Chain A
Amino acid sequence: MTSAAKSDSNPVPTAAEADGDDVLLRVENLVKYFPIKGTGLFREKEFVHAVDGVSLTIPRGQTFGIVGETGCGKSTLARCVARLYDVTSGRIVFDGRDITKVSQRSMRPLRREIQMIFQDPIGSLNPRRRVGSIIGDPFAIHGLASGAERKRRVQELMERVGLNPEHYNRFPAEFSGGQRQRIGVARALAFQPKLIICDEPVSALDVSIQAQVINLLADLQAEFGLTYIFIAHDLSVVRHVSKSIAVMYLGKVTEIAPAEDLFTVPRHPYTGALLSAVPVPNPDESDQRKQIILVGDVPSPIAPPSGCRFHPRCPKAAPVCVTDDPPLEPRLGDGPEHPAACHLPMAAGENLADFHPEISKEERVVEVEGSLLPDDAQPADIADALPVRQEGGKP
């Protein structure tokens, strides 16, 4: 990969954290449904299946990436872990403590250990408060410092993230996007938390600024031994920063792998499709690539497809995919660090473009809201509906 700025973003843990297997956060079968108010006279409760059984293990001192399309549940997952939502079922174990059902009041001291950085630099800062006050919030809320001492520590933080401490009294509107994210970072950093959940921290920034913020995060991780959960929808960004990456689709994890393995030997077809969409700088290489274009929109999370949720869009779909939801476990001889949830995982060197689904349109999905193929598509059409395009421009 071409290196951008600092490539050493995943440092070897220092001696104090030599225990790289030490697990900081464990999520077991997390489920989060949001009820929808019924529209009929008789309340049929419908739910949005935002997160539908996710299990993850986040090791200490490293960056764990989570990617997925919009609506796959990654942001909801983040907020569940941060206990901003109550979970519908499942367990969250943080640093050995089960925090699933802890009340909001009891969560307060824990909030010093779990923090979040948000996506929208404009929205995540209160426009009517001064920056110094915003960054000083953690100190104020938890009574850690006040007055001159608080100001001093806030200015320290500002400097650490690359802001001018003299801008203490400015409003967020007076800063650029990248700087606002730095403010968010400073605010999250105040406690030196053990875990920082970064919910698409750079998605709203210009590409050139993204690098700065990511490097900042990397430096802070090295200095303070932070653990990150890094959520994004851009694979290339995640690849750069993460040690392991989880791919999510419609509320479930489809694959987890160490960063490089995910890119070189992806197992799940969804991952394969995502990878084919990542632009490649080398024009020759890009010309020769066959791009997979998934048909249709992501099905609605209100009534997810039966069996494997990806089967309506999967080029390798087979009858078993409609009936059985594949468990997340290592496939094709991979080790425990690389599980995938697929009946027909991709072998090394397989090209998804060569595949056609083995099931007809009627055999797919029992019920689904919206998306997928047009109603009158015949089995034969499916092959046409999954076009294979060569980037040279030939259809």
Chain B
Amino acid sequence: MSMPELASAGESEVLDETGEAAASRKIEGRSPWRLAYERLRVDRAAKIALGTILVIVLLAILAPVFAKITGHGPNQQFIDTGSNAEGGPVPPSGTFWLGTDNNARDLFIRILYGARVSLLVGVLATLISTALGVVLGLAAGFIGGFVDTVIARLIDVMLSIPFLILAISIAYVSGPSVWLVIVIVGVLSFTYLARIVRGQVISIKGREFIEAARALGAGPWRIMFVDLLPNVLAQVIVYATLLIPLAIVAEATLSFLGVGVPPPTADWGSMISDASGWFQYGYWWFLLFPSMALLITTLAFNIFGDSVRDALDPRGAGIYV
């Protein structure tokens, strides 16, 4: 016989915590999430980016406060003080901190309110897109077969028709509005996460713990959401975070082209669009400040998203740029 006698195996009722068991007790419980958090904590770029995001959010929330302070609403026109002799915008001053736009409205206040729109669209559209993408990706990857084929072809079709054409056409048909933009951007970008989740699920679903779940009698939906989802969650978080700036840019682009948030709502894209007809006459602030706001926001989210990815997936398993 080849099994050695075990000194401590006298009673086997409640096994004593020898060697292996005691060793595991000394390891502090550090879940994968905890480890990721630790990495994120020491990442300076991440902290600056997150700080920037929080500032932007704060400013957006406090927009009405600033409106009160300056006494300028986002859609109020100040023809006398806010426009010059030719009817153009006035530069930054004590009254108008960042100047005015071509309709004599306070640029600074408009930028703050514009942040609301951008953040709202960015976050909500991302939520919709993530939810759709995860569910479809899970179903396609795990159930496979016909469901997978249908979903995969659906994704192909969505990707073959240019986003802008589709978005603009829909907006034309139903009339542009904030909610339409959110839905359009959210729904049309589900492909982003669906593919990633599907890929992950396919590589995981053959593993034994999935078999074990089936052996226990778990149904497919339970397996997808209780067993598979935690394993793809890390990737989902990474790409959802990176999706936010894409959604913000998409919204800004749509507004720039005139089919996003309708006027007179303050929106960075439409502000830039308005400015594009004026900056050649020297009204630089009109173009610069909304552009900077947009750029800084997108940059902050991208940097933070990159850091999240590094934290959750340090070995860089996917080359999804």
Contact B217 A171 (CB under 8 A): no
Give every chain A residue within 8 A of B217 (Cβ-Cβ).
Answer: 107-109, 111-112, 138, 141-142
What distance in Å separates the Cβ of B209 from its nearest Cβ neighbour in chain A?
Answer: 4
Of A28-36, A38-46, A118-126, A266-274, the stretch lying at the interface with chain B is A118-126
B227 x A126 contact (CB < 8 A) = yes
Known A176-B23, A216-B12; 8 more pairs at CB < 8 Å = A3-B5, A137-B216, A137-B226, A141-B218, A174-B27, A179-B24, A219-B13, A239-B1
Contact A281 B2 (CB under 8 A): yes
Provided the pairs A6-B12, A219-B12 are in contact, do residues A84 and B215 lie with their beta carbons within 8 angstroms? Answer: yes
Q: Given A107-B217, A126-B209, A174-B29, are A162 and B3 also a contact pair (CB < 8 Å)?
A: no
A residues contacting B by CB (< 8 A) are 1-6, 79, 82, 84, 105, 107-109, 111-112, 115-116, 118-120, 123-129, 137-138, 141-142, 159, 162-164, 167, 169-171, 174-179, 184, 187, 207-212, 215-216, 218-219, 236-237, 239-240, 278-279, 281
Identify which of A124, A209, A212 contacts B208 (C-beta below 8 A). Answer: A124
Confirm or deny: B32 has a beta carbon within 8 angstroms of a beta carbon on chain A: yes
Do A216 and B14 form a contact, CB below 8 Å, given A128-B231, A142-B217, A176-B21? no
| B230 located at the interface, meaning its Cβ lies under 8 Å from any Cβ of chain A in the complex | yes
Which chain B residues border A126 with CB–CB below 8 Å?
Answer: 209, 213, 227, 230-231
A196 to B68 alpha-carbon distance, docked (Å): 72
CA distance A4 to B6 in the complex (A): 7
> B14 — nearest CB in chain A belongs to which residue?
A162
Q: How far is the CA of A1 from the CA of B5 in the complex (A)?
A: 13
Residues of A within 8 A of B14 (CB): 159, 162
1/0 contact string of B175-215 vs chain A (CB within 8 Å): 00000000000000000000000000000000111011111
B106-138 Cβ-contact flags toward A at 8 Å (1 or 0): 000000000000000000000000000000000
Residues of A within 8 A of B41 (CB): none
Q: Is B43 an interface residue, CB under 8 A from the partner?
A: no
Question: When the two chains form their complex, are residues A207 and B3 in contact, meaning their CB atoms are under 8 A apart?
Answer: yes
- Does B86 touch A at the CB level, under 8 Å? no
Determine if A215 and B9 form an interchain contact, defined as CB atoms under 8 angstroms apart: yes
The distance in angstroms between the C-alpha atoms of A239 and B15, with both chains bound, is: 24
A127's nearest neighbour on chain B, judged by CB, is B231
Return chain B residues, CB-CB under 8 Å to A120.
208
Q: Do A5 and B1 touch (CB < 8 A)? A: no
Cα distance A308–B69 when bound, in Å?
Answer: 94
Residues of A within 8 A of B160 (CB): none
8 tightest CB-CB pairs across the interface, nearest first?
A: A162-B15, A111-B217, A128-B230, A4-B3, A176-B20, A123-B208, A124-B208, A2-B1
Q: Indicate if the CB atoms of A187 and B32 lie closer than 8 Å.
A: no
B4 located at the interface, meaning its Cβ lies under 8 Å from any Cβ of chain A in the complex: yes
CB distance from A173 to the nearest CB of B (A): 8
Chain B, range 257-313, C-beta contacts under 8 Å to A: none
Residue numbers in B under 8 Å from A105 (CB-CB): 219
B31, CB-defined interface residue at 8 Å: yes
CB-defined A-B contacts under 8 Å, sample of 9 = A4-B1, A4-B5, A111-B215, A125-B212, A127-B231, A141-B222, A164-B21, A210-B3, A240-B1
Specify which chain A residues have a CB less than 8 angstroms from the CB of B3 in the assembled complex. Answer: 2, 4-5, 207, 210-211, 236-237, 240
Which residues of chain B from 46 to 85 have a CB within 8 Å of any chain A CB?
A: none
Which residues of the partner chain B approach A3 to less than 8 Å between Cβ atoms? 1, 5
Interface 0/1 of B229-246, CB less than 8 Å to A: 011010000000000000
A218 CB contacts on chain B under 8 angstroms: 12
Task: State which of B1, B17, B207, B209 has its C-beta within 8 Å of the C-beta of A236.
Answer: B1
- Chain B's closest residue to A142 (CB) is B217
B1 neighbours in A (Cβ, 8 Å) = 1-4, 236, 239-240, 281
B25 at the A/B interface (Cβ < 8 Å)? yes
Q: How far is the CB of B231 from chain A (nearest CB, A)?
A: 5
- Also in contact, A175 and B24, with CB within 8 A (given A4-B4, A236-B1): yes
B127 vs chain A, min Cβ distance (A): 22
If A127-B231, A279-B2 touch, whether A5 touches B215 (CB-CB below 8 Å) is: no
CB distance from A72 to the nearest CB of B (A): 19
Contact B209 A207, beta carbon cutoff 8 Å: no
From A108, A127, A178, give the contact of B20 (CB < 8 A). Answer: A178
Contacts of B214 in A (CB 8 A): 84
A216 and B15 contact, Cβ closer than 8 Å, known pairs A5-B5, A108-B217, A178-B20? yes
Identify the closest chain B residue to A235 (Cβ): B2
Cβ-defined contact, A137 with B218, below 8 A? yes
Give which listed residue, A79, A123, A171, A281, contacts B31 with CB less than 8 A: A171
Contact of A5 with B212 in the complex, beta carbons under 8 Å: no
A126-B227, A162-B15 are contacts. A137–B24 as well, Cβ < 8 Å?
no
| Nearest Cβ on chain B to A200's Cβ, whole angstroms | 11
A136 to chain B, nearest CB (A): 11
Q: Is B17 a contact partner of A164 (Cβ separation < 8 A)?
A: yes
Given contacts A176-B20, A176-B23, contact A111 B12 (CB under 8 A): no
Instruction: Provide the bound-state CA to CA distance between A171 and B231, in Å.
Output: 13
Closest to B9 in A: A5
The one of B12, B24, B226 that contacts A5, using a Cβ cutoff of 8 Å: B12
